[in-house]
């Protein structure tokens, strides 16, 4: 461990990445395979491989006390040293006494970490930590504590350790990255690299892998600037989850790679019927199911199979389904509702009934023995559609579970069935049970900024956060935040503004005045602050067009006539936006990002509109 700590000090001593990876590579090569494997895990700032859920559960306070005790120092001394370093590991390195015979190997440290994790109760854990630290040299203790607190602070990320492994064992970085991604274990990756077998790394089900992340965008134009074909989905406000399915067994993992199946006992059944082993990516949300149980089931199944309507559905349902499937599936409830379901080991029947959830699947990483991450999204999307449509009908499965384990019963009606015979009755199943659903996230297409804005408004009207815009040609890159997935989120605030000028629209909106320039008050003067062209219904736009044509003000700039019309400042709109910036595009000195019309405010007169002071307030609040 002393060697690892010395390497750590050298790594911390340089900011050059190449030097850092060189030091790690040399260190790893100088160790035995076992020691190098454990060290690779430690150097990426972890006590255990990423896929493992093992944690030591030893609090910072307890560590602090142990260090103080072993150093025979007061809390004040420790605080003084902590102020200088801001890192308990460094404090320990400075104040712990050096004694003869100290020294532990990296393998001994690993064994001790596992013992600590397995020990029950804070006292037993603390005794083991005390023993480990007292056996270590002060420098070793410094690194042991850094690893225990999960923060090495030597400017070394796992990606640099991957780089070092590639250098040490003559492999390519992509080979190492891929193996590490599949295994979720940098130590195991190192072993394969050493044996020249990196390409043998296989996907391991029930070992969560990294999640692909999205980058925020600043404008709708930006949303379409990185790729030619975009898949657009609602951005649901829940928690990200990776579902692993094999032979009817289902587990869900969170973004922190923790298993969260226990918190959602109703979800596994919904996926257990998959025809193939699979890993799906999606979002768990609190879900408001349509009133009638049969509606949900039919619409979910129908959406999964891609059919546009169902024979048994009423006319009304058919129309609605065609109009907007995303709404018919039910809708997401706010995150604050889901929050009540998080972090629970036991979920009461009441909770299950009052806060049902759904798993909204939007990607597939693995299915039927094949790793799909390198395939383009357009192919993965097709595979996901197929997988979910082939799955066995959910509520049968739930009922089966109910028969096997009555305690797992998921009955969403007020009165619970009395006995099993009732449960076995098919009609009863359909009428009384509602399986938690796995819903294929509806995918839209957009090829213009205007279409994107319309989708954004529709997503928000469904109560969702915004949009995810995804490159149909992109592969799935775990743990990376790139430009293949873009996110467009909820507004920052809304302003009531007065329309000062209008323009004819484009595309579908040719011939109607649909683009509005609007202003806020600066004293008794209106100053323009933005322009928006979405959010109103066609009927509203038609009515507004009529009104504006009757209330134009002759423009001094005659060339602009017919294109941009100045109008009497009477119409008040509520506009939402995501961001505000300083800009000289408009007189107000500000511009809005993603401005969109939330609604007309016929209840307000122009004098009631917002002021430049309020705009400034919003701008300043956002800067905080
Ligand atoms: P953020 O948390 O703001 O970085 O936004 C990215 C997150 O949005 C993802 O990690 C998911 O948890 C969530 N999300 C919601 N809907 C989707 C979707 N359709 N596709 C991908 N991610 C989504």
Which three-class secondary structure string do you get for 512-548? CEEEEEEEEEECCEEEEEEEECCCCCHHHHHHHHHHH
Ligand 1 center–CA 467 separation, angstroms: 9
- Tell whether the model's pLDDT for residue 82 goes beyond 90: no
Ligand 1 center–CA 235 separation, angstroms: 6
Ligand 1: which of 212, 213, 235, 334 to mutate, judged by most atoms within 8 Å of the beta carbon?
A: 235
CA distances from 412 to 301, 409, 590 (A): 19, 9, 51
State yes or no: is 346 an active-site residue: no
Ligand 1 center–CA 374 separation, angstroms: 20
- Tell whether the model's pLDDT for residue 79 goes beyond 70: yes
d(CA 231, CA 447): 10
pLDDT of residue 60: 80
Return all residues near 313 (Cβ < 8 A) that are at least 6 apart: 295, 298, 321
Q: Which among 368, 407, 395, 398 is positioned nearest to 384, based on CA atoms? A: 368
Return all residues near 146 (Cβ < 8 A) that are at least 6 apart: 8, 45, 87, 89, 90, 152, 153, 154
Sorting pLDDT into bands at 50, 70 and 90, what band is 292?
Answer: low
Convert the pLDDT of each residue in 320-337 to its tens digit.
343 345 446 788 998 878
The atom number, within ligand 1, closest to the CA of 240 reads 12
pLDDT of residue 325: 53
Return all residues near 68 (Cβ < 8 A) that are at least 6 apart: 74, 75, 77, 78
Q: Whose CA is nearest to atom 23 of ligand 1?
A: 235
Sorting pLDDT into bands at 50, 70 and 90, what band is 418?
Answer: very low
- Tell whether the model's pLDDT for residue 38 goes beyond 50: yes
Query: For residues 360 and 238, is the Cβ–Cβ distance under 8 A?
Result: yes
* Mean local confidence (pLDDT), 371-377: 93
The strand pairing partners of 358, in sequence order, are 285, 437
Q: Whose CA is nearest to atom 14 of ligand 1?
A: 235
Return all residues near 86 (Cβ < 8 A) that are at least 6 apart: none
Q: Is the dihedral of CA 5, 10, 12, 18 positive or negative?
A: negative
Q: Which among 271, 240, 274, 272 is positioned nearest to 257, based on CA atoms? A: 240
Residue range 2-200, CATH number: 1.10.3260.10
- Tell whether the model's pLDDT for residue 411 goes beyond 90: no
Query: For residues 610 and 495, is the Cβ–Cβ distance under 8 A?
Result: yes
The atom number, within ligand 1, closest to the CA of 235 reads 16
Sorting pLDDT into bands at 50, 70 and 90, what band is 405?
Answer: very low
Which one of 20, 125, 142, 235 is the catalytic residue? 235
Position with higher pLDDT, 210 vs 529: 529
> Per mean pLDDT, which range of 114-128, 425-439, 574-588 is the poorest?
425-439
The atom number, within ligand 1, closest to the CA of 213 reads 10
Convert the pLDDT of each residue in 459-492 to its tens digit.
988 889 899 999 999 999 988 788 999 999 866 6
Q: Whose CA is nearest to atom 16 of ligand 1?
A: 235
The strand pairing partners of 235, in sequence order, are 466
84-109 burial: b if 16+ Cβ within 10 Å, else e: eeebbbbbbbebbeeeeebebbbbeb
Return all residues near 171 (Cβ < 8 A) that are at least 6 apart: 165, 193, 196, 198
Q: Whose CA is nearest to atom 8 of ligand 1?
A: 235
d(CA 141, CA 153): 15
* 3-state SS string for 486-506: EEECCCCEEEEEEEEEEEECC
Ligand 1 center–CA 256 separation, angstroms: 14
* Mean local confidence (pLDDT), 375-401: 73
CATH topology assigned to domain 493-622: OB fold (Dihydrolipoamide Acetyltransferase, E2P) (2.40.50)
Percent of the chain clearing pLDDT 90 (strictly above):
52
Ligand 1: which of 465, 471, 487 to mutate, judged by most atoms within 8 Å of the beta carbon?
A: 487
500 exposed, middle or buried (CB, 10 Å; 0-12, 13-18, 19+)? buried
d(CA 603, CA 587): 26
- Tell whether the model's pLDDT for residue 432 goes beyond 50: no
> Per mean pLDDT, which range of 289-293, 363-367, 483-487 is the poorest?
289-293
- Tell whether the model's pLDDT for residue 297 goes beyond 70: no
Residue with the two structure tokens 């690299």: 193
d(CA 530, CA 298): 44
Sorting pLDDT into bands at 50, 70 and 90, what band is 598?
Answer: confident
For the record, the structure tokens of 519 come out as: 């202003």
DSSP string computed for 397-455: HHHHHHHH-GGG--B-SSSPPSSHHHHH-HHHHHHHB-PPEEEEPP-EEE-SHHHHHHH
Ligand 1 center–CA 206 separation, angstroms: 22
The atom number, within ligand 1, closest to the CA of 239 reads 12
Query: For residues 306 and 269, is the Cβ–Cβ distance under 8 A?
Result: no
Query: For residues 246 and 366, is the Cβ–Cβ distance under 8 A?
Result: no
Ligand 1 center–CA 598 separation, angstroms: 23
For the record, the structure tokens of 333 come out as: 């409830």
pLDDT of residue 413: 28
Angle at 341 between CA 330 and CA 302, to 5 degrees: 25
- Tell whether the model's pLDDT for residue 586 goes beyond 50: yes
Pocket of ligand 1 (CB under 6 A): 214, 233, 235-236, 240, 283, 362, 441, 468, 487
Query: For residues 303 and 358, is the Cβ–Cβ distance under 8 A?
Result: no
CATH class of 238-442: alpha beta
* Mean local confidence (pLDDT), 58-81: 87
The strand pairing partners of 526, in sequence order, are 521
- Tell whether the model's pLDDT for residue 168 goes beyond 70: yes
The atom number, within ligand 1, closest to the CA of 233 reads 19
Ligand 1: which of 468, 471, 479 to mutate, judged by most atoms within 8 Å of the beta carbon?
A: 468
Q: Where are the domains of the chain?
A: 2-200, 238-442, 493-622
* Mean local confidence (pLDDT), 560-574: 82
DSSP conformational letter for 592: E
For the record, the structure tokens of 330 come out as: 């039910």
Q: Whose CA is nearest to atom 9 of ligand 1?
A: 240
Sorting pLDDT into bands at 50, 70 and 90, what band is 423?
Answer: very low
The atom number, within ligand 1, closest to the CA of 485 reads 21
Sorting pLDDT into bands at 50, 70 and 90, what band is 358?
Answer: very high
Convert the pLDDT of each residue in 105-133 to its tens digit.
999 999 999 999 999 999 999 999 999 99
2-200 and 493-622: same fold? no
pLDDT of residue 308: 41
Ligand 1 center–CA 303 separation, angstroms: 21
pLDDT of residue 216: 79
Query: For residues 210 and 477, is the Cβ–Cβ distance under 8 A?
Result: no
Sorting pLDDT into bands at 50, 70 and 90, what band is 89?
Answer: very high
Residue 218 phi, psi (nearest 5): -100, -15
Q: Which among 141, 142, 154, 144 is positioned nearest to 56, based on CA atoms? A: 144
């Amino acid at each position: 461990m002393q060697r690892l700590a010395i390497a750590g000090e050298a790594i911390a001593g340089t900011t050059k990445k190449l030097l850092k990876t060189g030091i790690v590579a040399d260190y790893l090569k100088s160790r035995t395979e076992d020691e190098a494997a454990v060290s690779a895990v430690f150097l990426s700032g972890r006590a255990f491989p990423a896929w493992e859920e093992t944690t030591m559960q030893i609090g910072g306070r307890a560590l602090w006390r142990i260090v103080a005790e072993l150093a025979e120092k007061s809390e004040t001394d420790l605080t003084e040293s902590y102020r200088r370093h801001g890192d308990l590991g460094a404090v320990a390195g400075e104040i712990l006494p050096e004694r003869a015979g100290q020294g532990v190997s990296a393998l001994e440290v690993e064994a001790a970490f596992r013992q600590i994790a397995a020990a029950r109760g804070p006292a037993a854990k603390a005794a083991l930590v005390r023993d480990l630290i007292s056996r270590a040299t002060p420098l070793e203790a410094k690194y042991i504590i850094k690893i225990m607190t999960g923060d090495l602070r030597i400017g070394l990320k796992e990606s640099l350790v991957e780089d070092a492994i590639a250098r040490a064992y003559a492999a390519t970085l992509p080979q190492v990255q891929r193996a590490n991604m599949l295994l979720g274990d940098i130590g195991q990756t190192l072993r394969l690299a050493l044996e020249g077998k990196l390409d043998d790394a296989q996907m391991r089900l029930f070992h969560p892998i990294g999640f692909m992340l999205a980058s925020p965008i600043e404008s709708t134009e930006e949303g379409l600037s990185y790729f030619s074909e975009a898949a657009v989905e609602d951005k649901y406000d829940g928690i990200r989850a990776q579902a692993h399915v094999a032979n009817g067994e289902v587990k869900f993992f969170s973004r922190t790679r923790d298993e969260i199946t226990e918190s959602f006992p109703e979800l596994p059944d919904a996926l257990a019927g998959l025809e193939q082993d699979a890993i799906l990516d999606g979002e768990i949300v609190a879900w408001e199911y349509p009133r009638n149980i049969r509606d949900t089931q039919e619409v979910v199944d129908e959406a999964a199979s891609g059919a546009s309507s169902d024979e048994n559905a009423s006319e009304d349902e058919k129309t609605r389904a065609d109009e907007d499937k995303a709404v018919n599936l039910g809708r997401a409830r706010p995150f604050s509702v889901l929050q009540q379901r998080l972090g629970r080991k036991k979920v009461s029947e009441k909770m299950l009934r009052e806060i049902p959830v759904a798993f909204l699947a939007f990607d597939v990483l693995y299915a039927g023995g094949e790793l799909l991450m390198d395939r383009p999204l357009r192919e993965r999307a097709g595979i996901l559609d197929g997988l979910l449509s082939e799955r066995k009908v959910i509520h049968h499965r739930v009922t089966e579970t109910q028969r096997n384990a009555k305690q797992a019963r998921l009955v969403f009606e007020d009165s619970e069935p009395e006995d099993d015979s009732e449960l076995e009755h098919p009609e009863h199943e359909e009428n009384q049970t509602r399986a938690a659903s796995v819903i294929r996230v509806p995918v839209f297409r957009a090829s213009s900024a205007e279409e994107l804005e319309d989708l954004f408004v529709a997503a928000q009207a469904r109560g969702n956060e915004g949009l995810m815009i995804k490159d149909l040609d992109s592969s799935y890159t775990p743990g990376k935040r790139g430009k293949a997935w873009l996110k467009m989120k909820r507004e920052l605030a809304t302003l009531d503004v007065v329309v000062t000028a209008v323009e004819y629209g484009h595309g579908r909106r040719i011939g109607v005045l649909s683009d509005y320039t609007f202003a806020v008050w600066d004293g008794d003067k209106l100053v323009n602050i933005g322009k928006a062209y979405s959010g109103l219904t066609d009927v509203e736009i038609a009515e507004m067009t009529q009104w504006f044509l009757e209330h134009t003000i002759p423009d001094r700039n005659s060339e602009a006539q017919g294109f941009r019309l100045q109008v009497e400042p009477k119409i008040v709109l509520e506009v939402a936006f995501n961001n505000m910036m300083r800009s000289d595009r408009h007189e107000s000195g500000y511009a809005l990002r993603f401005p969109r019309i939330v609604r007309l405010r016929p209840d307000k007169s122009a004098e009631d509109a917002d002021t430049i002071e309020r705009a400034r307030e919003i701008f300043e609040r956002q800067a905080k």
